[in-house]
Chain A
Amino acid sequence: MSASAVFVLDLKGKVLICRNYKGDVDMSEIDHFFTLLMQQEEEGLVCPVMSHGNVHFLWIKHSNLYLVATTNKNSNASLVYAFLYKLVEVFTEYFKELEEESIQDNFVVVYELLDELMDFGFPQTTDSKILQEYITQKGNKLEVAKTKVPTTVTNAVSWRSEGIKYKKNEVFIDVIESINVLVNANGSVMSSDIVGSIKLKTMLSGMPELRLGLNDRMLFALTGRKNQTILHCLSDELMKRISPTNVKPLIWIESVIEKFSHSRVEIMYMKTDLIQSLSFSLFQAKGQFKKQSVANNVEIRVPVPSDADSPKFKTSTGHAKYVPEKNLVVWSIKSFPGGKEFLMRAHFGLPSVENHELEGRPPITVKFEIPYFTVSGIQVRYMKIIEKSGYQALPWVRYITQSGDYQLRTNS
């Protein structure tokens, strides 16, 4: 691993906060980071690893911050990135939003966290739940008697405190399948896959071992082993797998764009006419999942040219909204029953003087959520808790299918 130092920079490359862990890389090396980054951005060849001399910068960007780790060794890159993202995760859990302001407002806590998360370039205590037991935001309140070390820090099992007790022992199991679909402009499905994950929120007493049985077909795909998978009893994302099977796109969208460009009547006429060349879009969305299932909170985001104006919409259900700052039309449908078809008709004015600057044509993206439904047919068959005291626990299973990276390309 060994990251020599960690920096948090603002968008102008100014160091907001930093921590020198190892002392084998000069802290002023960070000055080269931003120049290198600018240089690469100009050439259009940004890379998440940059080197200056024998110092390597590994960086990520989060909202308006750069998080940079420096090292002069051939260290494990994926580990460093994973750590930087862990930093983001922990900070976000502490400050809700991780951005320049929250770092500046909470620098005391940030220092405290940086101190505990890593020592001498090695990750130490990174679980935010455990950290929250002894680094609290109420730093301003004066507590003289805060002398207790959380047992977690001294425990044999580093990720769980001993002596946890719940009145009701329950496990909430979320089986989530995200669907990634890429459809080409001419309607052919370029790629489609499911990323399945099982998330657990456990409210179990003591130090239990949890066994989860899934239906056979999927089980093999999940673990590669015979019958069960043993989990650490921690609310955590359990596993993430891409199923190679192709799925049918669940929501299908057809769009027709009719362009009546350059319908200039007379240039002398009126100014408004000059701007108005018309463009009609007709969108049709079709749900292809099982009839009983209902997709909730469907959002279809249709990109429009940045110089479009005076939008008019007509929808058979839901409502459409023009978001000019993102150059999007968002068509949201609260509930979308399977097998139904809906229509939207959008009308825009476009300037008749064509925009000469090339614009990328972003794809149409769709967001949705279908509860009580999994595409792959995965099911949780049983759950067993093994604990010294031998209590029974209640499992709550929830199946959700949601959109992952769901893109439909438009003609350019």
Chain B
Amino acid sequence: MPYFGSEETVKELKRALSNPNVQADRLRYKNYITKVIRYMTQGLDVSALFMDMVKASAKVDIVQKKLVYLYMCTYASDKPDLALLAINTFRKDCADPNPMVRGLALRNMCNFRMPGMTEYIEQPIVAGLRDKASYVRRVAVLGCAKMHSLQPNTEIDGIIVNELYALLRDPDPVVVVNCLRALEEILKDEGGVVINKPIAHHLLNRMKDLDSWAQSEVLTFLLRYHPRSDDELFDVLSLLHAFLQSAHAHVAVATLRLFLHLASAHPAVQADALLCTSAPLLATCGAASRELRFTGLCHVQQVMRSQPGLFGTHYKCFFCGYSEPTYIKFRKMEILVELVNDENVALVLEELRSYCTDVSPELAQAAIAAIGRIARTYSEKCLDILTGLLALKQDHITSAVIQTFRDLVWFCPQSTAAVCQTVEACVDSPQDSEGKQTLLWLLGEHGEQISSAPYVMEGYIDGLKTELSSAVKMELLTTAVKTFLCRPAETQDMLGRLLHYCIEEESDVCVRDRALLYYRLLQRGVEETRKVVTGPKSDPSMSVLTGRQEEPISQWASTFNTLGLLSGRDLCLQTAVISAADQPSNSTGKELLPDVTLSSPNDTEEEISLSLGPPLSHETFEKMWLDLEILHRQTLGSPRPRTAPDTLQAALQLVKIQTLAFTPGDTVLWKAYIYTRSTGTLILAELLQGDPQAPGSDESLVVSVKQQPVNQHAIRGFASILKSVLQTLNVDSS
């Protein structure tokens, strides 16, 4: 690209192009045109040469034509009036005896993105649809879609749509697929191309002629088709069975998606399809290209949501290679954590242990967190490893280990003693603020079990002036107060110093306010303070919400094999929330049971019907639960049924209430989260027993209901149904 004088360059080119001598010499002429395109590629504005280029398009040389067409497409939207001059050349080329030229001209003409093009391209497109060369037909079919996208709001041309539907029978496979693609674009507002029985069967029979791209897309279009009978369904599935093992990963995955969709009423078939595809999926996870490997891993993760055991024996495939990028390693570790079982735990932990010393701190910390996740089930082995890591005295490792300890103590209180011992033995403290906060939290919560707690804390208080993070200071305040409550003799002095410093000298308002709060609280007396400051030390029930459990396949099948799967949760979540909120209650025909209508004895004047609808994911539920207000709270008058969890779940399912999670066994604070849908609203509810804060909950369950959108009538109906179910269960079990 010339550094200056681009105008000069353009002028020079213009002179050359209009020089009759140059025009006479084909080779020179073409070289100049190539030069123009080169400047265009480099970002120089050569649109001033439009007229000369239009002239050049009249030449016979096909490469030159391509270049000139490319030039015109690029600048057509800037110079619509001049572009119209070129149309004549294009139309002439559309009638050229050479099909390559015809196709080329038609394709480029359709690529002109400027208003008012439609009237010029319509006639050549219609002619192209009937061209005897399939190359031209391919172009013309997509041209229909392009024409529509130029004027998206105009009425759909019925003649063209019919013609496209007819072309689905074209002998050329690419024309067939292009027809589907074009119809999909044109009929976007009406729900896309219609796949009826003859079309579906025709496509199925053509499958083996298609190239892999087309196969993949046809399989996606076939998702729209619902076979009438089981016989037909199984015919379709057996036709497609071979594609489950296609050498192209995208075809195999697309087939799997279709299988899952079609066989939604046959779980055995779904399971079989998943089993068949597991080999190609695993092969993708070991593919040469990282991106495909990544997509493979994402899909494996998705499948594991309902079939956690499917890849259990292949856990070794998810060990990380040295040169793999971090995003792959992260995914692999996530998968490894889920695949852990009694047999492989030792090897998996050994492997994860070797990542903990990786040079990349992010990776090392993620590996430590992964070990922490496994520790919830296999605490002893993991604690040994974590303790061993502390001995390495690496800042980022120590910090991550301590953070893992915090989560571990919170989720499984039985490991508290071991953790406290380790923390006490750990000499060097973390240096980053996150790690400091965590260590302080541990000291505060379990100060009575860590004998060195006051001394560690003293170190922090002495170094307060150099501490930068206000979050650490606040945590320090809380810890000091908590430790003071259990070990007053050792900490009184340093708490005084801390409060003094924070109130008198601290410049951060938040820290000062916190200090003042504690100061005043302590003035009210120790017992008052204790009541305010101490909370629960652990919450094992939370691990039920965070831990995965088997989900129905239908929950993720809709996003399978799409981009949303890869780009993280965001895209999925959005669509999930929308579908949860917008979908009417009887959205899909998947429900096995007919809608149960229950009229409760107390509430006889109106009937309310509940339905399951599409399932909610844990994340969605959590998000909605946090966002919504409690609309209704009531005591149900009966205690928690003493039945097996399965029975309870099944009983609730019978009246169309879905159980999301509940605390296991006979924990004192028993919780369950359930949801259901009713006449366009989504009802979320929490059942609670034994909560000291809620009066009357020792004896009986308390239900708190949240709803979106609000419908009081539905809530009442829901409560009465729930009540009657629980009563029935209690009668049965007693």
A residues with CB within 8 A of B: 1, 15-17, 22-24, 44-51, 56, 58, 60, 71, 73-85, 107-108, 111-112, 115, 119-120, 122-127, 134, 139-140, 142-144, 146-147, 149, 153-159, 180, 182, 184-185, 188, 190-193, 195, 223-225, 236-242, 244, 358-360, 362-363, 405, 407, 409, 412
A365 closest partner in B (C-beta): B322
> Which residues of the other chain, A, contact B561 by a CB distance below 8 angstroms?
76-78
Q: Are A49 and B292 in contact (CB under 8 A)?
A: no
> Which residues of the other chain, A, contact B63 by a CB distance below 8 angstroms?
108, 112, 139
Partner of B357, one of A45, A125, A236, A412: A412
Q: Does B10 contact A (CB under 8 A)?
A: no
| Minimum CB–CB distance for B400 against chain A, Å | 15
> Which residues of the other chain, B, contact A79 by a CB distance below 8 angstroms?
213, 216-217, 250
A332 to B611, CA, bound (A): 69
Q: Does B567 contact A (CB under 8 A)?
A: yes
Number of B residues near A (Cβ < 8 Å) is 99
A269 to B523, CA, bound (A): 71
A221 to B643, CA, bound (A): 45
B244 closest partner in A (C-beta): A224
Partner of B173, one of A134, A156, A362, A363: A156
Q: Are B66 and A184 in contact (CB under 8 A)?
A: no
A145 closest partner in B (C-beta): B60
Q: Does B471 contact A (CB under 8 A)?
A: no
Q: Are B359 and A156 in contact (CB under 8 A)?
A: no
Given known pairs A107-B41, A184-B354, the reply for A60 and B250 (CB within 8 Å) is no
Q: Are A144 and B60 in contact (CB under 8 A)?
A: yes
Q: Are A407 and B327 in contact (CB under 8 A)?
A: no
A237 closest partner in B (C-beta): B247
Given known pairs A77-B562, A78-B250, A224-B245, the reply for A124 and B174 (CB within 8 Å) is yes
A135 closest partner in B (C-beta): B63
Q: Are B247 and A108 in contact (CB under 8 A)?
A: no
Task: Provide 15 A-B residue pairs closer than 8 Å at the C-beta atoms, listed in order of the A residue.
Answer: A44-B360, A46-B327, A48-B294, A73-B563, A82-B248, A83-B213, A119-B107, A122-B181, A123-B213, A144-B61, A158-B211, A190-B319, A191-B316, A193-B286, A223-B245
Q: Does B142 contact A (CB under 8 A)?
A: yes
Q: Which 8 A-B pairs have the closest CB atoms?
A: A191-B316, A123-B213, A78-B250, A360-B359, A48-B291, A49-B567, A78-B295, A81-B291
> Which residues of the other chain, A, contact B149 by a CB distance below 8 angstroms?
22-24
Q: Does B564 contact A (CB under 8 A)?
A: yes
B residues with CB within 8 A of A: 26-27, 30, 34, 37-38, 41, 43, 60-63, 66-67, 70, 97-101, 107, 113, 133-135, 138-139, 142, 145-146, 149, 171-174, 177-178, 181, 209-213, 216-217, 220, 241-242, 245, 247-250, 253-254, 276, 279-280, 282-284, 286, 289-292, 294-296, 299, 313-314, 316-317, 319, 321-323, 325-327, 347, 350-351, 354, 357-360, 362, 561-567, 571, 575
Q: Are B217 and A126 in contact (CB under 8 A)?
A: no
Partner of A75, one of B134, B279, B562: B562
A357 closest partner in B (C-beta): B359
Number of A-B residue pairs, CB cutoff 8 Å, is 229
> Which residues of the other chain, A, contact B178 by a CB distance below 8 angstroms?
122
> Which residues of the other chain, B, contact A81 by a CB distance below 8 angstroms?
289, 291-292, 295
Interface of chain B, main secondary structure: helix
| Minimum CB–CB distance for A160 against chain B, Å | 11
Q: Are B326 and A46 in contact (CB under 8 A)?
A: yes
> Which residues of the other chain, B, contact A412 by a CB distance below 8 angstroms?
357
| Minimum CB–CB distance for A378 against chain B, Å | 15
| Minimum CB–CB distance for B244 against chain A, Å | 8
Partner of A146, one of B62, B145, B146: B62
A87 to B209, CA, bound (A): 22
Given known pairs A60-B289, A78-B253, A78-B292, the reply for A111 and B66 (CB within 8 Å) is yes
Q: Are B37 and A107 in contact (CB under 8 A)?
A: yes
> Which residues of the other chain, B, contact A149 by a CB distance below 8 angstroms?
98-100, 133, 135
Given known pairs A45-B326, A111-B67, A225-B242, the reply for A193 and B135 (CB within 8 Å) is no
A23 closest partner in B (C-beta): B113
Given contacts A407-B321, A412-B357, could you give 18 more A-B pairs where the C-beta distance is less than 8 Å?
A45-B327, A46-B325, A50-B567, A74-B571, A77-B566, A78-B249, A81-B292, A107-B41, A108-B34, A108-B37, A111-B67, A126-B211, A146-B62, A147-B97, A154-B133, A224-B245, A244-B314, A409-B322
> Which residues of the other chain, A, contact B347 by a CB distance below 8 angstroms?
190
| Minimum CB–CB distance for B260 against chain A, Å | 15
Q: Are B66 and A112 in contact (CB under 8 A)?
A: yes
A362 to B323, CA, bound (A): 8
> Which residues of the other chain, A, contact B43 by a CB distance below 8 angstroms?
15
Q: Are B142 and A119 in contact (CB under 8 A)?
A: yes
Q: Are A191 and B213 in contact (CB under 8 A)?
A: no
A196 to B14, CA, bound (A): 59
A162 to B657, CA, bound (A): 62
> Which residues of the other chain, B, contact A144 by a CB distance below 8 angstroms?
60-61
